[in-house]
Structure 1
Amino acid sequence: MSAKKAAAAGGEIVVQRQLASARGVPSAPSLRAFARAALPKRFGELTIRIVDEDESRALNRDYRGKDKPTNVLSFDGDAAMSAQGVLGDLVICAPVVAREAVEQNKTLREHWAHMVVHGCLHLQGYDHEIEPDARRMEAREIRILKSLGFPDPYQ
């Protein structure tokens, strides 16, 4: 049975890690654990693509109209993809995550966990464009990261 069919059958979140940039990237089992914590009632396939700043910038420009690299982008699937067990894709920029970890005085692992959780919440419809939504999303992130043994990423 393929990973996609197994995921659609239930009980598993399948994470496919694609590496276009690999500095300091957590292992596939770690990424899977971070995603599972953020997607506890979901089953399916999640692709996490690790990219460099050029690819992140191009995607952010093309899909969000922002001509700069960003830490994480989330792409949810359409109804047909969802019916096939596809949760969506996360695109995480390794150099941006590494830089932000230093700037925010976090371990690289802490910040990777936060970016995976943050992206997974976006796939579930959470947003942070307006203050009440941002507070709700941040509270959820804090709870999930605490369950993984990480401190509040906003302190």
Structure 2
Amino acid sequence: MNKAMMTAAIMLAVGLAGCGKKDAPPADDKAAVDTMATPAAPMAAIPIDPAKPNACDRLADVTLTAVIDKATNALKISGTANAPQLGFAAALQAGPLDKMNPPNQVVLLRANAPAAGGAAVTAVPLNLDIPHAQPAYNSVRVVCPGVKDIELKVG
């Protein structure tokens, strides 16, 4: 296995190791919330279950940007996608970096569909920070099986 693939595999393993479920704080029984009067807050990202099939091909209107954050030396990819129903989990995962000069970064788009749910289109956030950014990138290629790749220019 070449050095780039080994590094990508280690980064993926380290990233997945930190994806453990955290305990939710206890519910506050004293405060009743009127959901009809409260404006909808942005939905928090639902964690991806790698054991479930990838449903990224069901996402629509995927809009992403990629920038190098000079302060943290990280490649930051962020944006949104429209899920066909509530409860969709979506995330970006760092893939391999090729050996071109400047290199191309591959990013995997992952999504898990809920078992059942309403048919309301829901915007889901997509964010990924890849530490130790290269000085420049030719592109970031976001891949999802069965869908045309998304090419991002790093700005």
TM-score band w.r.t. shorter chain: under 0.3
Q: TM-score, normalised by structure 2?
A: 0.28
Which of the two has higher C-alpha Rg?
Answer: 2
